[in-house]
Each structure stands twice: as structure tokens, then as C-alpha cells.
Amino acid sequence: MKKIFSSLLLPEPSEDLFFRVCEVIRKEKLAISRRNACIMTALFMCSGISFIFASHGMITNFSNSEFMDFLSIIVSDVTVALIARESLLFALLESFPFVSVMVTLIAITICLQSLRSLAIHMNDLFYQSMPANTHENR
């Protein structure tokens, strides 16, 4: 009778099974964090380069547009600016290089967001690369 029910008993897991499973999970999280850190580094570099080109384009568009000329009228001659404020406002809006400013702002936003994500993943890499507590260390 004991032989029949002895096959129904569940085998006992080894003592260090939990620690081995935790170590495998830690290694997989470390690999994922490394991959994400590499992706964020590449995104940061690409967005940084695009920000440099976008800011150069914005500076070029500002120098080619008449926006600064109209803006200097407001500063230099306030009475003329107050008399012709509506036409001056429309002239400012027409001469402002919106597209280049928007592209520059988008590039800086992506650059800062990728830098933030890179810092988070590097923090994860730092703490996950430390050896985990195992039962031998206790």
C-alpha cells in the first residue's frame, strides 16, 4: 500500500531553487536594462545632433526673416508701435519663423526625454549589477 501512494508524493525542491530563480530574473532584468540603455544612448545622440542642426536652422531663419527688424521697432520707437500696434502685430506674426522654432523645441524635448530615460536605465544598471544576496552569503 505504501508503494502505491509513494508515487503520488510531490518531490521536494532543492534548497537553493528560489535563489537560482531570483538570479535568473535579475540577469534578465540586467540584460533588458542594458538594451534599453543602449537604445536611449543612441536616441540621445541622434536627437542631440538633430537639435544642433535645428538650432542652426532656427538661427539662420531668424537672421533671414524680418522678425528682428519689426521687434526692434517696438523697442526703439514705442509711440509708433502703439499707434500701429495691429499692423505691427500682424507683421511680427507673419515674419516669425514658427516651423524652425517648433522643430528646435521638438528636438530639445526628445533630447531631454531620452537623457531622462537614459539616467533611469543607468541607475537600474548600477543597482542590478550588484551581486544579489544568496543563501551562501547569509
Residue 2 has what pLDDT? Answer: 60
Q: What are the contacts of 17-21 at 24+ separation with CB within 8 A?
A: 19/132, 19/134, 19/135
Q: What are the contacts of 51-55 at 24+ separation with CB within 8 A?
A: 51/104, 51/107, 51/108, 51/111, 54/100, 54/103, 54/104, 54/106, 54/107, 55/104, 55/107
In a domain, 65, yes or no: yes
**Residue 135 scores a pLDDT above 70:** no
Summarised one tens digit per residue, pLDDT across range 95-127 is: 888 888 899 999 999 999 999 999 988 888 887
In a domain, 133, yes or no: no
Cα 90 from Cα 98, distance rounded (Å): 14
Residue 44 has what pLDDT? Answer: 93
In a domain, 108, yes or no: yes
SS3 state at 48:
helix
In a domain, 13, yes or no: no
Residue 131 has what pLDDT? Answer: 60
Who has greater pLDDT, 135 or 87?
87
In a domain, 106, yes or no: yes
Mean pLDDT, rounded, of the chain? 82
In a domain, 49, yes or no: yes
Is residue 41 within 8 A of residue 63, CB to CB? The reply is no
Q: Name which of 106, 107, 102 is nearest 45 in CA terms.
A: 107
**Residue 92 scores a pLDDT above 60:** yes
Summarised one tens digit per residue, pLDDT across range 56-78 is: 998 898 888 877 777 777 778 77
* Domains of the chain: total: 1
Task: Determine the average pLDDT of the residues in 80-106.
Answer: 82
Q: What is the CA radius of gyration of the chain?
A: 31
Who has greater pLDDT, 37 or 89?
37
In a domain, 135, yes or no: no
In a domain, 2, yes or no: no
Domain that holds residue 85: 25-128
Task: Determine the average pLDDT of the residues in 72-86.
Answer: 77
